[in-house]
Amino acid sequence: MQQTSETTHRLRARTFSCMGTVISLTVPTDAHKAPQAAADELAAATAVVERLFTELDSIFSLYRPDSEASRLVRGELALPAASAEMRARYEEAAEWRLRTEGAFTPERPDGALDLSGIVKGHAIREAGTSLLALGMAHWCLNAGGDVLVSGSPGPGTDVPWRAGIVDPADRRTLLAGFPLGGGETADGGTRVALATSGSAERGDHIWSATAGTVEFLQVSVAAADAVTADVLATAIVAGGVSMLNHAAAMWDIEALAVRANGDLLATGGFRR
């Protein structure tokens, strides 16, 4: 009798801390493979991801006084003289500001440059590219609740990975789960990334693009890539219902938003 993938593979994970959060890499490994060989492969892949996150954090962290971002904020460095990496991310963020009609912005209200709304998504995107370049087809990368996947937890099947979304009112409770990867969605698309933004976990770090109070405590967006998911989750928190409607009309995404009173607002993919 042929064994199923569930019996021939098991999940292994490694974690590290960077960018103020915990990053984990989970992979399915062949149960018949030598345990040490599987552990060594996962450790090597995790080291590649950790090095990438660490390098980007050294450039963009506003919590590190020696970072390039901190030097820009203090006026010790001008953007035209900044590194190619810094200028590229600023250009990408500025493009997203136009596409979101100002709901996403690379500057704080005081005018200081702050690329934190795009850097983690970029780090996840680059890490995914590196993992694929290593020949890894099946994995789940989770950076503080922002998730990017490839393949399936059961290689040889179309079983998706499942990303959990926590309740902002009770971090011990899951609000919903969303399938990522593992094959096409019901409408023919492929969503392999999910990002969550809001004040419930990190405090009020997102400023509203509209007058009055922020409409959403938390927004989760599933998309075809990590940066789109990350940026649009932040933009919807900042821009409220009008930005949610704009995002749903312009991009192939699914979104789940938690209102200030705890009510949920969701696109069709989260209501199935």
Tens digits of per-residue pLDDT, 54-85?
Answer: 999 999 999 999 999 999 999 999 999 999 99
User: For the chain, how far is it from start to end, CA to CA, in angstroms?
Assistant: 35
- Residue 102 corresponds to which tokens in the numbers above? 């100002």
- Residue 270 corresponds to which tokens in the numbers above? 């989260």
Tens digits of per-residue pLDDT, 251-266?
Answer: 999 999 999 999 999 9
Residue 49 has pLDDT above 90, yes or no: yes
What element of type H or E holds 120? helix 116-133
Cα separation, 98 vs 87, in Å, equals 17
Q: Residue ranges of the domains in the chain?
A: 9-271
pLDDT of residue 179: 95
pLDDT-based confidence at 25, cuts 50/70/90? very high
Architecture of domain 9-271: Roll (3.10)
How would you label 35-44 residue by residue, b for 16+ Cβ within 10 Å and e otherwise?
A: eeebeebbee
> Is 124:163 a contact under the CB 8 Å cutoff?
no
Provide the CA 221 distance to its chain's centre, in angstroms.
9
pLDDT of residue 217: 94
Q: What is the pTM for the complete model shown?
A: 0.90
pLDDT-based confidence at 240, cuts 50/70/90? very high
Cα separation, 205 vs 183, in Å, equals 35
> Is 253:185 a contact under the CB 8 Å cutoff?
no
Tens digits of per-residue pLDDT, 156-212?
Answer: 899 999 999 999 988 889 999 999 998 544 444 589 999 999 865 444 445 455 545
Q: What is the mean pLDDT of the chain?
A: 89
